[in-house]
Chain A
Amino acid sequence: MHIHQYEKLWLGLSLLLIVGFVATVTYGAVGTPAISMIGDDGDTLNPNAIDDHPEFGDPGVEKVGESEYAAYVVARQFMFQPDPIVVPANTTVTFYVTSADVIHGFSVVGTNANTMVIPGEVAELTVEINDPGEYGIVCHEYCGNGHHGMEGLLKVVPADEYDGGDAE
């Protein structure tokens, strides 16, 4: 097979590019902080039985450690519960997000906190939250003809202003 020497050079560069991309992604996955993908750690549950679920039956934020919080969020046509989600600043928050009906999205606007929300599955994502502030939350997957109105709010309040309870 005749391959022109320039083509051999380009083949080499292409492979270098590919290996470079894989290496960058791997660096992101094992570097500091190590970026973790949404995985299969979450439970499965029947979306019709969500109201009886110990956590999702009354979704909200719980303190689970020294500066660690768990936020249970239910996405349903066409809202997020709770809304707003209130967490204290300078903490580690794990969001557990599930759907009561169809497939939704959960994206904290302007950040990398982003997941699909699939009925029957629980999406689990942990983020470190530093400064106080407000973020919009959007559903980014089409979920029915009211989809464009499906939004929420994430409020990060100073630790001393946090009342420790559910926002609802």
Chain B
Amino acid sequence: MNEGMVSADDGATHGDLERSVSAPPDQADVDRTLSHEEFDPKGTLALILVYFAILVGMWVFMYFVEFLGNGLTVVG
């Protein structure tokens, strides 16, 4: 790296909005640290169950209404 480089830290000119990335460079400044044992992804489970319900509903609609309800079924 050359001498003319500006450090990412001495950046009064580079406010937060101008940071090219928002992720902390390391994980030090998180509110709390959750290990695998103490983290149950219950929000993920809720979201994915909603997705599952949408998939099933849409599949039934597409297959039985849109497709089987369409004319000229190929039977041979």
Asked whether the complex places CB atoms of A and B closer than 8 A, the reply is: yes
A112's partner among B56, B59, B73 (CB-CB below 8 A) is B73
Distance of A17 Cα from B73 Cα, bound (Å)? 25
How close is B67's CB to chain A, nearest CB, in angstroms? 7
B75 and A111 form a contact (CB under 8 A)? no
Residues of A within 8 A of B76 (CB): 36, 94, 124-126
B20 within 8 Å of A (CB atoms): no
A73 → chain B closest CB, angstroms: 15
> Are A112 and B55 also in contact (CB < 8 A) when A2-B36, A6-B41, A28-B63 are?
no
Q: How far is the CA of A42 from the CA of B39 in the complex (A)?
A: 59
- Taking CB atoms and an 8 Å cut-off, the chain A residues in 15-48 that contact chain B are 17, 20-21, 24, 28, 33-38
Say whether B73 contacts A33, CB under 8 Å.
yes
| Interface membership of B42, Cβ < 8 A | yes
| A128 touching B56, Cβ below 8 Å | no
What is the interface of chain B, defined by CB distance below 8 A to chain A?
36, 40-42, 44-45, 48, 52, 55-56, 59, 63, 67-68, 70-76
